[in-house]
Each structure stands twice: as C-alpha cells, then as structure tokens.
Structure 1
Amino acid sequence: MKDTKKFLMAAVMVTGLALSACAPTAGAPAGTGSAAGGKSADPVNVGIIYSKTGALAAYGATYYQGLQAGIDYATGGTGEVNGAKINLTYADDGGDPDKAVTAAKDMIGKGYKIIGGTVSSGIALKLAEQAQQNKVLYISGPAATDAIQGINKYTFRSGRQSLQDVATAGTFIDTKGKKVVVFAQDNAFGQGNVAAVKAVLGAKGATVQSVLVPDGQELTPFARQLIDAKPDMVFVAWAGATSGTMWQTLSQQGAFAAAPIVTGLGDASTFGAYGEATSKISFLNHYFPGASGTDVEKKMVASVEKAGSKADLFTPDGFVAGQMIVQAVKAGGTDTDSMVKALEGFSFDGPKGKETVRASDHALVQDMYQAKLVQKDGAWAPQVVKVVPADQVAPPEKK
C-alpha cells in the first residue's frame, strides 16, 4: 500500500550508492555458474532504483534486503548466471520521480539493459516510460499501481497490485447494493485504489465513492467527510509515515462506529498503530513473515536474518525481483526482447508459493491473505485467517 517523496543529489545516486552482489565462484549450480571452458562471461549490469531515503525508506529497505536474498537464492549463492556476474548498482530515488528518471537515464546511457525497483507508484509509471522509450527491461518493485499492468512489453512487476488488494477485500463481505467509500491519499497510489475498487467491487454491484486527502493536509475534516457519506463499508488505502496519525484521527472522529473498515495490513511498524480499533478492522494482506510457510519463504527469512535484518511486508517483492532478474538473464542473455520472452509466462516457486507472470499483460498472479492482529507476548502480531488462492484475486486481464 505505498507512496510519497523527497531528496538526494542525482550525481550521488549512481556513483556513491553503487554496490555489487557477492559472487563467489565455487559450487555454482547448473545454469548459474562459470561459463564453459572456465571463462567468465561479461558481467550483467542491473540498475536498482529505490527509496533509500525519504518517506518510504523503510519500505525501500525491505525491498533491498529481499533483493539481496533473492539473487543469492536464484544463483545458488554464486551471484552469477551462466558465468556472468550480476552487478547491482543502486540509486536512491528519495520518492522523487525526477531523481528516479535522472538515475534511469544515466544507467541506460551506460548500457544497462535491466532496471528494477521503486516503492512509489508515480515513479514506477515514469520508469515504465523510460523502459518503453529505450527498449530496456523494467521490473517494478512494491509499487502497487494498476496502471503499469500491460503498459508496455518491457515492463513487469515483482509485487502485487491494487486490484489484487481490492479483490481480496471483496472476499470479506457481499458488497452488492452497498455503498463503499475509499479513504486514501490523493496521489497515484490512492487514485489507483479508487479505480481498482470501482473496477472490482463496482462490478459486483457496489456504489463506490471516495474521500482523497492531499499530502500534508489536516486529516480531521476528511474523516468527517467519510462519516457524513454514510458508507456501508470503508476501504482504507494509506501508505507512509502518516499512517499512525490517520488511524488515530479516524478513531477519534468515530469512523469505526460508522461502518466496517477493511484495509491492507502494512509492515510490522504499523501493527500497533490501530489502537482500540485493532480488533474491529478486517485486514487484507500481501505478506508477513510466516504467512505462507513455504520452503522458499523460510530460506528468504533465514537469509535476511543472517544479514542482520528482519523480513517484512515487501521483502518478497525484492526476493521475487531477484528471481526474475536471474530468469531473464539465464534464458534471455542481455537481449531485451529475449529477456521479455523469458519472463512472459514464467511460473516459479516464490516466497508466497506458486507465482506466475501472466504472458498477456505481465500481471504477477499470486496468493493473497485475509489476516487479523492478535496479542502475542504483549504486542500485536499477524495471523492468517484465510489464504485466498491466486486465481480468485487475479487482476482482470488486459490485452
């Protein structure tokens, strides 16, 4: 659920933040190790643009950690594909589309054929434009906007999208003939959620209205607008550092007494942010540690913890990006069209179970979750209520 903005010099983004994945050469599994005859292929440079700083830095950090684990897992610990070292160069977008585009242009100008990343939906759209214009592969990160689904042949995603969130929300209650009000930030992420609710729940007979809050505005008047709309259900789509304040305002203004509220369960830092309303909220969920219990998830969590961090909401998005990058290079080399073909229809075991890149529009079809927060050791902890199968929440196909 996620979006916003802020700083870092463009020149520093590509130089001072450059890093390379570890690439020991011993013990490489078939298809990922040294090239035939003992020769190493030319390195494959991959540019990752993400929020190291800014309002979404916490989300960027988990994406980054997951990416490291995903590359390691998909290459069998070698950091190589067919003898070619995967060199990851990082740039901080700070939540600023202009800085992200500057970084992308710099990398593409240096010959990079693969770009990945960003938490911000607005930035993802800009990077998708760069992919189209320059014919490079772009694998978006946690950015949830539905607008990049099928936007062009070069753009993919490694996370879920808003339509999948909304479809999961629609599994809680029958919304036919009901008024659903979307309470969200007035940005690409929030607007995308409004469009998704109209597309999914509106198609099921719901009347959909919205209350959109501009960045930096006092929340109380908007909470009153929400209550005055007399909804049958409220769908909240919110991201970033103001989440706690938003929930407190809704609680203080009595929104929870006005209608049932459905929202996405965010990262671990938000688990205690709902206050007295925690038990009243119906949570849809993309991921939390332990949600799937698959072997791949366990390896991801172990890898992230070994590196001194903890898995969280968007760790799988980074991990899957690593799997997709490796698949693209393994089957497509560095030819963009070949890499695109290698990913279209790609079905694999990800942290959440079986995941599939739909060939027609590059949607990433995956399981979602109904969840609740429960008290555990004096703190709130997530618990799966129901696994919602991937095909039940797959986005409508774009052709």
Structure 2
Amino acid sequence: MANSSTFKRVRLGALLVGSLALVVGACASEDPSGGGDAGPVKVGVVTSQSGLLSAYGEQFTQGFKAGIDYATDGTGEVDGRKLDIEYADDGTDPAKATAAVTSMVGKGTQIITGPVSSGVAVQVAPLAEQNQFLYISGSAATDAITGINDYTFRSGRQTYQDVVTSARIVGDLNGKKVVVFAQDYEFGQANVAAVKAVLGEEQGADVVPVLAPVDATDLTPFARQVIDEKPDLVFAAWAGETTNAMWQSLSQQGVFDDTVVVTGLADRASFDSFGPAAQRIDFVSHYFAEASDNEPNKALVSYLEGENVKADIFHNDGFVAAQLVVRAVREGGDDVNGMIEALEGWEFTGPKGQQRIREEDHAMLQPMFTASLTGEVGALTPELGETLAAEDIAPPVASE
C-alpha cells in the first residue's frame, strides 16, 4: 500500500460508530469460521432491487454473478474458499442501504459492493472507512467516490470520463452555450460540476444547468426551459424510470430541431424512447456488448445468453466488481489491508478492455466509447464510433 499524500487510512479506534462497534464486536466473537483461512468469505451485494434504479441494480447483480462465474472458473470459490454472497435491496434509498450494510458488517462481512445510485454510494463510503471493510462502489457515476477514502474502490466509470468523452464529440465550444439537463440529486449535480469543469473552465463554454426534481413526472416545463436558453449544445444526464418521459418531452418541445444533443447511451430498453430523433443524437458510452470482442466480454455475453438476457449497460460494472472481489480475496485473504494493496495499481482486462486501478485515489481508468444508433425504431442497434484509451480520459487525481 502506497502512503499517498492524497488520503490516509483511518484506523477503527475511537472513530468507529459506538452502536455499530458493539454489534460488530459481539458478532465477531461468534464467527463460526473463527477467521481461519478454511472458512467461507462473506461478500455483500447491496443494490437497487426496487426503487427508481431497480432495472440498473438487476443488471449489476446479473453481471456480478457472471463475473464470479468467470473469475472463479465456475466454482464460486477462491483457492478452495467458498464465496458466501448475500444480496440485499437498498431501494435506491441511502437510509435503507446504510441499514443493510450495517447488518452485513455485524455478521462479519468484509467486502461490500453494489450501489448503482450515486446518492447511495456516497453514504456507504464513510461506513467503509469507519468499519474497515473493502467497499467496491458499483455503477454509481459520481466523481465524489474517487479518492473519498482508503477503503473505497469503484467498478464503473465516473462522470468526468463521460464528459471528457463528450468533448471529443462536439469539438470547439469556446464562447458557446451548453445546457446540462439533469435530475436534481447527486448524479445530476455531479454531471453539472463535471461539465462546468471540462466544457466550461477548460473549453470556454457558458454552462447553464436545468435541473428537474428526481421524482418529477411532468417534464414539459423543464424541457421548455432548455429551449428558452437557446443552447448550442444540450448535455442530457438522466437515469431511471422517467428516462423515456424526458426524451419525449425534449422531442415534443423541438429540442432536436434547434441544437446538438449529447447524452450517455443508456440501457437497451431506452433506445426506442428517442423516437425519430434516435439517429440525431451523439452518444457517449461506457459499455455496450458490441463495442468489445475480448474474452471477458464473450464470457459475460455468453453467461447472460444462458439466462435469456442480452448484455446491457450496467452488466459490465457487476462483472468488473466480481473480478475485483476475487482478486482481493485471492491476494489478501482475510486481511482488508492486504485486499486494498492487491487492488491498488492492478491492471486487468474487463469486458470493455484494459483497465487499471490508480493507486493514488482508486480511480478506475478505463476506455470509453462514442456511439450512434442505427436501424429503425423497434430494432435500433448501437454502433461503435471511437474508442478512447483509458489514459487519455483519466480524471485528475482526487484529493481530500
């Protein structure tokens, strides 16, 4: 483990939450494995089985199971030790996630992964530091996860990488207006901050946020605000069950007739929601199955086909999380510090290509893609544009 100046490991000691310390202490003495190498390894997957992002949580879980199958050669074991995996629903709710994590830690779980909600992910990270368990955030894209503490890693991309990729699409924006159309919570706010930093401060654009409440269902007034700003570019950052309604509102207000629209390529279920505008949008993508042809991606696609599922946007993040879990257990055993050291600086091949965990702040350096949708509504297919190398879109090193 490198002693980085950017963040330091915090020991349990007096920092441990009092009530949780009692639970953990009591349960630790009752651990039937006795902490020995022969016992199973407890792993927790806390993700959205219900709530706004439940479809994404389902993909993460499916991808995680595929990744465990791949990384353990179908055994579910690491060096003869069974991975005892517990799944829990966070309901896309930070309080519910905290309760699930607390319960798992009380039962001796040393590795927890899964959140797909940025709001959930940033609430779980401090618990990892306080209670010294390995935390691998899932598909949550907020930049705040990178460098938040020594115990926290991520399996997905972060918002900065989305925005830098979009900059490659749109070209010179100096003096032009960019509207960020997003939901008013952690994910949307993180996108606004990243667009301001990359397209605003670095490229000279005038960045204006238009934020809708995360539970809003009538999005027409917000789409109207986008039009009224007369932007040169709209950067749409949206997630969850209202995605279709958002695109319909933009289309009805004529946004596609007046400006360039860039957005992340979401799950396949959303493709038809773009309607006739599907082929007029420039897409940033962190994963779609057609973008890669390596062995991990083939394994992911094949495993999911066996479950009658087509590989989708967040399956990759679950698969990569599983790769990190197996690496941590194989190299670190029961020692969380050893697990951390095993992951820091690790280079590996995930479904999307070569990836590296940056030692200084645990950023997940990874390739990104540009894409377009081809075909007709009802049969739209993503087509790869450009693949951007991991190092070319690396975020700045995070600091506390």
TM-score w.r.t. the length of structure 1 is: 0.88
Q: Is the 8 A contact 1:193 1:237 kept in 2?
A: yes
**In structure 1, what residue type is equivalent to 2:249?**
T
Secondary structure class of the residue paired with 1:311? coil
**In structure 2, what residue type is equivalent to 1:164?**
Q
**In structure 1, what residue type is equivalent to 2:203?**
K
**In structure 2, what residue type is equivalent to 1:119?**
V
Secondary structure class of the residue paired with 1:42? coil
User: How far off is 1:378 after superposition?
Assistant: 5.6
Q: Which residue of 2 aligns with 1:172?
A: 169
Counterparts in 2 of 1:258-269, with a 5 A limit? 258-269=258-269
Q: Which residue of 2 aligns with 1:10?
A: none
Q: Which residue of 1 aligns with 2:11?
A: none
Q: Which residue of 2 aligns with 1:324?
A: 324
Q: Which residue of 1 aligns with 2:134?
A: 137
State the distance in 2 between where 1:41 and 1:200 align. 49
Q: Which residue of 1 aligns with 2:94?
A: 97
**In structure 2, what residue type is equivalent to 1:249?**
S
State the distance in 2 between where 1:199 and 1:103 align. 35
Q: Does 1:215 align with 2:214?
A: yes
Q: Deviations over 1:201-242 (max 9, x none)?
A: 122222211000013333111111111112111100001111
State the distance in 2 between where 1:357 and 1:324 align. 10
Secondary structure class of the residue paired with 2:227? helix
State the distance in 2 between where 1:391 and 1:40 align. 37
User: How far off is 1:40 after superposition?
Assistant: 7.5
User: How far off is 1:304 after superposition?
Assistant: 1.6
- In structure 2, do the counterparts of structure 1 residues 191 and 341 end up closer, same or farther at CA, with 3 Å as the change threshold? same
Q: Deviations over 1:187-207 (max 9, x none)?
A: 111001001111211222222
| Aligned length, in residue pairs | 361
Q: Which residue of 2 aligns with 1:398?
A: 398
Counterparts in 2 of 1:96-245, with a 5 A limit? 96-173=93-170, 174-202=172-200, 203-217=202-216, 218-245=218-245
Q: Is the 8 A contact 1:148 1:155 kept in 2?
A: yes
State the distance in 2 between where 1:270 and 1:308 align. 19
User: How far off is 1:308 after superposition?
Assistant: 3.1
User: How far off is 1:291 after superposition?
Assistant: 1.0
TM-score w.r.t. the length of structure 2 is: 0.88
Q: Is the 8 A contact 1:41 1:82 kept in 2?
A: no
Structure 2: segments with no counterpart, 5+ residues: 1-35
Q: Deviations over 1:51-96 (max 9, x none)?
A: 1122211111111111011111111111111221111100011111
Q: Deviations over 1:301-358 (max 9, x none)?
A: 1012113322110011000000000001111112111111111101001101101111
Q: Is the 8 A contact 2:276 2:377 kept in 1?
A: no
User: How far off is 1:180 after superposition?
Assistant: 1.1
Give the structure with the larger helix fraction: 2
**In structure 2, what residue type is equivalent to 1:309?**
V
State the distance in 2 between where 1:346 and 1:236 align. 33
- In structure 2, do the counterparts of structure 1 residues 216 and 112 end up closer, same or farther at CA, with 3 Å as the change threshold? closer
Q: Deviations over 1:368-389 (max 9, x none)?
A: 1110000169611111011111
**In structure 2, what residue type is equivalent to 1:216?**
D
Q: Which residue of 1 aligns with 2:60?
A: 63
Q: Which residue of 2 aligns with 1:81?
A: 78
- The ranges of structure 1 where at least 4 consecutive aligned residues each deviate by more than 4 angstroms after the TM superposition are none
Secondary structure class of the residue paired with 1:53? coil
State the distance in 1 between where 2:72 and 2:239 align. 33
User: How far off is 1:44 after superposition?
Assistant: 0.3
Secondary structure class of the residue paired with 2:157? coil
User: How far off is 1:182 after superposition?
Assistant: 0.2
Q: Which residue of 2 aligns with 1:360?
A: 360
Secondary structure class of the residue paired with 2:375? strand
State the distance in 2 between where 1:180 and 1:223 align. 14
Q: Mean Cα displacement is larger for which, 384-393 or 361-370?
A: 384-393
Q: Does 1:284 align with 2:288?
A: no
Taking every aligned residue pair, what percent have the same amino acid on both sides? Answer: 54
Q: Is the 8 A contact 2:37 2:334 kept in 1?
A: no
**In structure 2, what residue type is equivalent to 1:257?**
D
**In structure 1, what residue type is equivalent to 2:375?**
Q
**In structure 1, what residue type is equivalent to 2:262?**
V
State the distance in 2 between where 1:277 and 1:309 align. 27
State the distance in 2 between where 1:40 and 1:364 align. 29
Structure 1: segments with no counterpart, 5+ residues: 1-38
Secondary structure class of the residue paired with 2:380? strand
**In structure 1, what residue type is equivalent to 2:183?**
Q
Secondary structure class of the residue paired with 1:205? coil
When the two chains are superposed, the root-mean-square deviation of aligned CA atoms in Å is: 1.4
State the distance in 1 between where 2:258 and 2:131 align. 50
User: How far off is 1:280 after superposition?
Assistant: 1.2
**In structure 1, what residue type is equivalent to 2:199?**
L
